[in-house]
Amino acid sequence: MTPVVKIVKEWSPAVVNISTESVVMMQAHPLLGQLGVPSEFNTMPMGTMNLKSVGSGVVISKEGLILTNAHVVQMASRIYILLSDLKQAEAVAEAISPEDDLAIIRIKPPEALKPVKIANDVFVGETVVAIGNQLGLENSVSAGIVSGLNRNILSNGKPILTGLIQTDASINQGSSGGALFNLSGELVGINLAIVQGANSVGLAIPFDKVKKFLQNYRDGKLNAPRAQVPQNDQGAQQPNAVRIKIQ
């Protein structure tokens, strides 16, 4: 019964699996103009497509509030939650902050949930445990150390996410929104991404940014929760979302 095993046994129930459905418009490719197709037809809607994706979330209240990444749910038309006991529920978005890449969703839990405790500090070199829905594999666990602090994600040379935790704990597609715990069972970060082309360089949103986001939520400072979904010409709904590029 190692410290990592104890963390997993006690706190994995606080990490949920998220699956989403999004309805997007399909358009003809502009290069069709090179084939003689009139320009007015090159970008006209050609129908809709249902896209599905997976992610992770962390329980922050026993009443059913769940914290995740904004990019996991912001384009979703429907959000589904799978709890650790395999019970399922549909969720609605409560608050989304693309700038922080954080979101809160809500479910009606079948029973009281166990919320995480949020850490007050994090140190380079301390052991951390990542739990999430890696590659669609429910509640996958990896462990490592905090490799660095105050890492930034840049887009066109400009920072879009700052102050991130770097860890060598494995974080793969589907891990986004999952938990990064210390050995005291406290949430030190929300798993974000792994740097493409690198080995064992994962990133997480740190506890202090999580606390500020939650305080803004409590104070009513966040924008309307769900993206507006206007009707397209075929009557289907298309999410209108802000895109975040993660490098």
Catalytic residue set:
71, 101, 176
Nearest of 69, 35, 38, 37 to residue 55 by alpha carbon:
69
Distance from C-alpha of 242 to C-alpha of 227, rounded to nearest angstrom: 9
Bridge partner residues of 182 (DSSP)? 128
DSSP at 38 = -
- 64 φ/ψ sector (left φ>0, alpha ψ -120 to 50, else beta): left
- CA 132 distance to own-chain centroid: 10
Residue 194 and residue 201 in contact, taking contact as beta carbons nearer than 8 Å: yes
Distance from C-alpha of 165 to C-alpha of 81, rounded to nearest angstrom: 26
